[in-house]
Copies of this chain bind each other. A is one copy, B any other.
Amino acid sequence: MKTAIVLALLATGICWAQPPADCKPSSLNIPGAPYPCVFPDHHAMFRVAAPNAQAVKVRVGAGFDMTKEADGLWYATTTPLVEGFHYYMLTIDGASVSDPATQTFFGSGAWSSAIEIPAADADFYSHKDVPHGVVRDQWYFSTVTQQWRRCMIYTPPDYDTNKKVSYPVLYLLHGWGENELGWTFQGHVDQIMDNLIAAGKAKPMIIVMDNLNAVKPGEDGTIYNARGVLTQAVPQPQPPMGAPPAAPPSGPGGQRPAGAAAPARPMFRLSTTFTEMMFTDLIPMVEKSYRVAPARENRAMAGLSMGGMQTFTTGLEHLDKFAYLGGFSGNCGGFGGGAFDAKTTCNGAFADAAAFNKQVKVLFLSTGSVEGPRVRQFSDELTQAGIKNVYFESPGTAHEWLSWRRALADFAPRLFR
């Protein structure tokens, strides 16, 4: 941007009206932005400048029409929102865009706005006066995908000082439409772990947060998001267990540009390329670059939603590599209906309960209570089949980041014992 433009921006020093006193700016707003704000009862109030627009909507879970008020700005107050982190988008005369008043986060395949409804238990993911680890941007070249990739790596507070100690590693995945930044920016992985470690509740560990998307050169990738943007994966004739059924193109972002063909029923399978990349490139890079304790007893894998599905896809087929598996609102079963059958469910991974229990130190399943009973049912079915597992339910939360922050806080203390 040219100097003249910067100067012009500097010159437009406008002080907007403040929101009602009990409506507190969301912690995800850019510095100084008064809106969106949250009332104590969790109604949220949004505002946007769209001087010539005919219709403006905010889509935060449900859609709320905004109204142009006397000051020329558009406002909406929502119904009460559940606690936690919500992605949201604006629709301005049909255009789906993020709100310039908030930080953006990669979710649903685009950089989306977000609002944080303060949780009663927010302390566990807040900055506190405890020793701090760091998250590192670690780039590496993948021979499988033939691309430079970035993963984020959390190292615990004592990593730089205890120079002779090697640490166990948790490989932790994001969900559909997100990327390797999710656990840091949306998840607060560093605060959660710093606090757990300081309290003596979790062992110091390295956490590797990679990108779920891995496609070889020439490999077809055919899942596009609502904006026509490729987000994930590879087609195959049948969706696996755990893949959600197709839904009609509706809901947020479901509008289709005029002239675009109706989509074929989308299908995806979890990526075997990711698994190959993980074993060929990622794990060797981590074990070469960091002080990592060897062997499967020091290696865990977990993920949220599609990342949980990927964890079970990768992990159940490679139990020689992982002693701990976690699926936060996503795993290898329990979403597709169909009766549980230990011989066939999840490709028969649970057929020999005694062997499985001997090998897997923790099999962890979690969900938000608002997501419904399916993960609990799957956990019960596993238990009935003799498979030891841990079920965690986040009270009052949806298929969203507060469920997954809480899941991590419950899962991490169980690792590497």
Q: List the interface of chain A (C-beta within 8 A of B).
A: 1-16, 30-33, 48-56, 61, 70-73, 86-87, 90, 92-104, 106-111, 127, 129, 132, 134-141, 148, 153, 160, 163, 175-177, 184, 190, 213, 221-231, 244-261, 263-266, 268, 289-290, 305, 329, 370-371, 398-400
Interface of A, helix, strand, loop or mixed by DSSP: loop
Q: Output the least CB separation between A71 and chain B (Å).
A: 4
Additional 13 contacts, C-beta under 8 A, given A5-B252, A9-B253, A10-B244: A1-B86, A4-B247, A4-B251, A6-B177, A6-B244, A7-B247, A10-B268, A11-B249, A14-B263, A51-B95, A92-B95, A96-B100, A135-B136
Is the pair B90, A10 in contact by a Cβ cutoff of 8 Å?
no
Contacts of A254 in B (CB 8 A): 8-9, 11-12
**With known contacts A221-B32, A263-B11, A257–B73 Cβ distance under 8 A:** yes
Contacts of A56 in B (CB 8 A): 95
Q: Output the least CB separation between A68 and chain B (Å).
A: 10
Report the separation of the CA atoms of residues A371 and B3 in the bound assembly, to the nearest whole angstrom. Answer: 7
Residue of B nearest to A248 (CB): B11
Q: Output the least CB separation between A116 and chain B (Å).
A: 14
Report the separation of the CA atoms of residues A106 and B47 in the bound assembly, to the nearest whole angstrom. Answer: 20
Partner pick for A5 among B30, B52, B163, B251, CB 8 A cutoff: B251
Report the separation of the CA atoms of residues A400 and B217 in the bound assembly, to the nearest whole angstrom. Answer: 33
**With known contacts A30-B110, A258-B71, A139–B132 Cβ distance under 8 A:** yes
Number of copies: 2
Is the pair A127, B111 in contact by a Cβ cutoff of 8 Å?
no
Is the pair B107, A98 in contact by a Cβ cutoff of 8 Å?
no
Q: Output the least CB separation between A111 and chain B (Å).
A: 4
The 10 closest A-B pairs by CB, nearest first: A32-B230, A72-B258, A51-B94, A50-B95, A16-B228, A8-B251, A52-B94, A13-B266, A13-B263, A97-B97
Is the pair B49, A259 in contact by a Cβ cutoff of 8 Å?
no
Contacts of A48 in B (CB 8 A): 95
Could you show 21 A-B contacts with beta carbons less than 8 Å apart? A1-B108, A3-B244, A7-B245, A8-B248, A10-B266, A12-B253, A13-B264, A14-B261, A15-B224, A16-B224, A16-B257, A31-B213, A32-B224, A51-B95, A51-B258, A52-B94, A70-B259, A97-B97, A127-B139, A134-B138, A134-B153
- Residue in A70, A100, A138, A370 with the greatest tally of chain B CB atoms within 10 Å: A100
Residue of B nearest to A155 (CB): B136
Contacts of A15 in B (CB 8 A): 224, 228, 260-261, 263
Contacts of A175 in B (CB 8 A): 6
